[in-house]
Every structure is written in structure tokens, then in C-alpha cells.
Structure 1
Amino acid sequence: DGSRLAECVLPHAVALAQAFDAQVMLLQVVERSRPDVESQAIAPLDWYMRKSEAKAYLDEVAARLQEAGVRTEKTLLEGKAAERIIEFVQDQDVELILLSSHGRSGLSGWNISSVVQKVVLRVYTTVMLVRSYRPVTDDLMGLRYKRLMVPLNGSQRAECVLPLATQLANFHQCPLLLAHVVSKPEIPRHVPLTEEETKLREQLIEVNRRKGTQYLEKLKLRLPLGVQTRLLLSEHPAEALHKLVDEEEVDIVLLSAHG
């Protein structure tokens, strides 16, 4: 969107384009008005200037990517950002969308911008989100991934990211971490569990832990060398995975939208 915050995706675009020999398509949408002033008309000269500035900005970013050896195309559209992004992705058969968590528009209650939220919910293709609070660098070729993580729940759908993750890990010569969370089963009760119920709960946890360990070991045998596994036990899987990301200093988390 022309902001430095949104440019945090550029080093990742280069790193991914190199790993998959892909072309990068730059897209900027110029909106005629802000949501809070929807009915306000824009002067023709101001509109012309905004479009000219956006085009010049896209040309400059494209030149930087091309200097980094990345095949690049650029497109400037008009209209509402989320809707035009989704239309462009569908028309061009885009395979991966790179978005910063927020840019000029700021954050929503979901810790991402409203535009990003709409795109993630409505587009049916792979999306990569980069947190905008990360420091922005002008060095587009210096990014090397050091650790990737794939959370898995045992389903084949969750495993759909593994080919992408293994190719990326191989290119960057970095470890791939497979994580599985065993959730503690909930037993709705208004009073404390009986001794028998507590014992049954612990037995179920142990069965799930053993099955989870076997599942990760089988996956490890199928995948290239450099794969590591982590089995977690938690009542809150999302929190456990967040903590693991921090502890293991993971660069990228790759996961399916659902399992």
C-alpha cells in the first residue's frame, strides 16, 4: 500500500521466489476514498496525482526486486482494496499471497488490518502473513530462514503443507520442526472429578500421547533428513504453539487453514 510497514514482505518475497523459481507480482490498489469519508468526492487533479505516485512507487519496488534477480510484474488497480485483491488473485491464478499484518490502515481487533482479515477469510489460496512490527530492511537478499515449523493434528489435510515446507527447508538448509499438541480432554462437571474419572482421563491422555509420538515418528521417516519433532501436552493448543515458536526461535510457521 506504499507504506514501509507493508514492505516487510519484500525480503520474504525474494526468499520464496528463489526457493521455488517463482515470479513475483506486485499489486497496489488505489482507493478513491477512506471508509470514514465514503461519500466525499475526490478532486480529479488529486486523483491523478495519487495514481501517478502509486505507479512511480510500484516501478521503484519492481526495480529493487529485479536487481535481486527476481522476475517481477506490477499491477495498479482502483477500487476497494480487499475486493480488488481477491479478484486479482482469482483472475491471475495466484498460488501464494504475501501480506503484511497491517500497513497504513493500522490494526483491527484481530491484530491484523481489516483488509488483510477480509482477504484471508475470502480468498481460496495460500496466504503468508508477515508481522509488520518486524524491522524493515532494504537488504532484500539477506534473508535466510533458520528454522521452520509445521503444526500437525494427525489429519491428511494438515499435512498438505509438508511438500512446501520440505522444499523451503531444503533450499535454505534449515531444520524443519513438526509439532503435535495432545489436548487434555474436557469432562464437563460442576463438581470435582471422581478418582475413577481422573484415572480414565489420564489413561486417555497417555493413549493420545503414545499415538501422537508414533504419528510423528512415522512422518519423520517419510521426510528428508533435518526433520525434528515436538510433542506437547496442553489444554490450550494455540497458546502452547505460540510458546514453542518463541522457545525454538522459529522463523516461519506453515499450517493448513483447517485439519
Structure 2
Amino acid sequence: MQNSSVSVESDPGASPVNAPGGNRGVVACLDRSRQWHRVAQHALAIAKAMSIPVTLLQVLEAGPAGDSRADPLEWEIRRREASGFLEPLAAILCEGKSPVGSEIVEGHAADQICLWAADRSPELIVLGARGEGWQKNDGLGNTARSVLDRSAGSVLLVPATDNSSADEGVVRYKRLLIPLDGSSRAESVLPFAIRLAEAVKADLLITYVIPVPELIESGPLEPDDIELRERVVRRNERVAKEYLARVCGYIALKGIQARTMVLRDGDVRSRLVRLVADENADLVILSAHGHSGRSDAPFGSVTAHLIAHSAVPVLIVRNPSGLAAGCGINANLADARIAGLCA
């Protein structure tokens, strides 16, 4: 399929961010779904906090299956319509003093987003969890799922029912929820979370959900088995509290105060989803994998459940070494090894 790219001018005073290979900022993937404005708002909020540029990217889907390219006249009409949509939006966003650029490409949405990201290596891809035409009330749309499966970088997914705080159309992160499980993978999000919390003056809530220990069962558990499981839970709860205390010590060294919460008795995934609502979190930040991460899967089961069911945006941090420069996501990764730092 032949691709075409059209740059759309934004504010004359904004820095150009459209040059191939030159964008290490945030890319907001916009379509005509009802959540496009929230995608743009979240992209701008992160970019302003990290002092990095924003690119508004819209993919014009090609013609019916089998057509190598849309009719040239039809393409020009659609391109002009897209330009009329992106240009004023970019100008409005530029009023926030963040460099904003915009670009239109043609083709399959997921393919073009992944190709664009591979070429430009953005710090963060922001897109809606469900795009235009998605009829289900939950789960991921095809584009979001494909981008998550194929892209190597970090992704911020904005749900269709976004309950995060906003004042006069501007996203305000008041509370950031950081789930940890004691693994270095999970901890790797902390440098970025700390920097974001400091920039937007948000509260940090660090949580550890203790899974129910699994015992082999061939029938009803004996009293000794139940007591054994309870002893394991109590031991894990004690260790989790000690661990989160060390995490708070690390965060305090950065000048940030955090609140911790240890939860027990229940499925880790469902407890986190409920916690998001109970604590009025505005953003969940977590690693793609935790303790049980598999290299052959793009993300773990807890992350998969959250991105499908969370009522607020979820930022999945991946490829820490590639995010160390620029906006500082996962900068000084070795320094974030909490257990070794504060033990």
C-alpha cells in the first residue's frame, strides 16, 4: 500500500516536531470518535509536565479492502477535511506553550501508527481504548489492541468513559495510582511517576495487592491447610508493608510524599479496578509486566485487565532503556531498584 504524509502547520511560534526521526515527544492518535478530545488533552497534559513536544496524528483509512489507494479527488477532500480538523486544534494546544505539530497519513490505522512510531521513536503514544465504530461497552478496540501488541514503546490508553479530573476541558492529574508487586519491572515506573507528580502537584498512591496463595486441592481444605494459607497471607502482608515503607523512603529522597495501601483477600486484578474508583484516581501508571512477566507476551494479565476495565486512563511503561533520555520516563532505572537502595 502506498503511504502519503501531509504536514499541517500549527502555531507559527511553535517548534517544528514533524521532521522524520526527530520527534522524541508525545504523539496523540486522533480519530473521529467521541473521545478524540480527551486523547488530545491527556497527550498535552503529559507533554507539558515533561516539557516535550506533541504531535497530533490522524490516519485516513484507505478505501475498501483490495483498493491500493483511494480516489485522488476523494483523498484530497478527506485530507482537507482532516486538515481543517487538526489545524485549529493544534493552534489551540499551542496556546499552552507546548510545541505542537500535526500530521496526516493514509492507510490502516494500526499499521500507520506503528510505522510512524518505529520511525519517530516517540516517548509516549496516546490513543483511545476504543476508536470510532467500536460498539462494545468494554474491552479494547482493534486499533488499540494492535498498537499495544506491536509497538515497543510506552502507551497511554484513554477509555471511552474517562472519569479522570478535568477543569474547563483541561486534564488535571490530582491522584496517580502506582501498583507494585516487588519486582524491578514494576518499580521501573517510579522515576517517571515521581517526576509527573512533582510537575502537576498530584498525590501519589502506591499500592500492593496480595494475591491469595494457591494450594493444591483435591477436596475441601483441612483446617491445617486454611491456617497455613492464612499464615502465608499474614507473612506476605508484613513483607509488603515493609517493602512499601522502603519505597516511600526512596520517594521521600526525591522530595515527594506518597501514601501507601496494602490490600489482601481477593483477585489482584479486580481489586485494582475497584481501588481506582474508590480512591478517585485520575491516572494509573504501571509496567507492562510484573513478577510473572513473559517475554513472549506484550503485557501481563494484571495490565491486560486494567486496560480493559479501568474507568481512567492507564499508562503502560515499556522499553525502559529506550525511555531513559528525553522526558525522563524510567531515567536512572538502576536507581529505582528499591529493595537494594533502601534495604
TM-score by length of 2: 0.70
Is structure 2 residue 65 aligned with structure 1 residue 38?
A: yes
1:206 to 216, 234, 237: 234
Letter in 1 for 2:65: E
Provide, for residues 57-95 of structure 1, a one-character-per-residue CA deviation record: whole Å limited to 9, x for no partner. 221221111122220111111111101101111110101
Other structure's SS at 1:25 match: strand
Is structure 2 residue 258 aligned with structure 1 residue 227?
A: yes
Provide, for residues 173-202 of structure 1, a one-character-per-residue CA deviation record: whole Å limited to 9, x for no partner. 121000101111121313111122111111
Contact 2:33–2:131 at 8 Å: present in 1 too? yes
Other structure's SS at 1:32 match: coil
Is structure 2 residue 191 aligned with structure 1 residue 160?
A: no
Letter in 1 for 2:272: L
Structure 2: give runs of 5+ residues left out of the alignment: 1-30, 291-343
Q: Which residue of 2 aligns with 1:7?
A: 37
- Greater share of helix: 1
User: In structure 1, what is the Cα distance between the partners aligned to 2:277 and 2:113?
Assistant: 32
Structure 1: give runs of 5+ residues left out of the alignment: none
Letter in 2 for 1:154: G
Other structure's SS at 1:103 match: coil
2:216 to 188, 208, 215: 188
Contact 1:151–1:178 at 8 Å: present in 2 too? yes
Is structure 2 residue 154 aligned with structure 1 residue 126?
A: yes
User: In structure 2, what is the Cα distance between the partners aligned to 1:44 and 1:138?
Assistant: 42
**CA shift for structure 1 position 133:** 2.3
Query: 150-159 or 197-206: which moved more?
Result: 197-206
User: In structure 2, what is the Cα distance between the partners aligned to 1:138 and 1:52?
Assistant: 31
Q: Which residue of 1 aligns with 2:53?
A: 23
% of aligned pairs identical? 35
User: In structure 2, what is the Cα distance between the partners aligned to 1:64 and 1:116?
Assistant: 26
**CA shift for structure 1 position 32:** 1.2
Contact 2:179–2:207 at 8 Å: present in 1 too? yes
Other structure's SS at 1:254 match: strand
User: In structure 2, what is the Cα distance between the partners aligned to 1:126 and 1:203?
Assistant: 38
User: In structure 1, what is the Cα distance between the partners aligned to 2:52 and 2:73?
Assistant: 38
User: In structure 2, what is the Cα distance between the partners aligned to 1:209 and 1:135?
Assistant: 31
Contact 1:148–1:250 at 8 Å: present in 2 too? yes
Contact 1:174–1:226 at 8 Å: present in 2 too? no
Letter in 2 for 1:226: Q
**CA shift for structure 1 position 132:** 2.1
Is structure 2 residue 129 aligned with structure 1 residue 101?
A: yes
User: In structure 2, what is the Cα distance between the partners aligned to 1:74 and 1:139?
Assistant: 23
The alignment yields a C-alpha RMSD, in angstroms, of 2.1
**CA shift for structure 1 position 229:** 0.3
Provide, for residues 13-37 of structure 1, a one-character-per-residue CA deviation record: whole Å limited to 9, x for no partner. 222111110100111111113xxx4
TM-score by length of 1: 0.91
Provide, for residues 134-166 of structure 1, a one-character-per-residue CA deviation record: whole Å limited to 9, x for no partner. 3898945x3221111100010011011111111
1:145 to 173, 178, 186: 173
User: In structure 2, what is the Cα distance between the partners aligned to 1:5 and 1:192?
Assistant: 49
User: In structure 1, what is the Cα distance between the partners aligned to 2:140 and 2:97?
Assistant: 30
User: In structure 1, what is the Cα distance between the partners aligned to 2:247 and 2:135?
Assistant: 38
User: In structure 2, what is the Cα distance between the partners aligned to 1:186 and 1:2?
Assistant: 46
Provide, for residues 203-223 of structure 1, a one-character-per-residue CA deviation record: whole Å limited to 9, x for no partner. 111111111111000101110
**CA shift for structure 1 position 110:** 5.9
Letter in 2 for 1:28: Q
Q: Which residue of 2 aligns with 1:255?
A: 286
Other structure's SS at 2:189 match: helix
User: In structure 2, what is the Cα distance between the partners aligned to 1:112 and 1:68?
Assistant: 31
Contact 1:3–1:103 at 8 Å: present in 2 too? yes
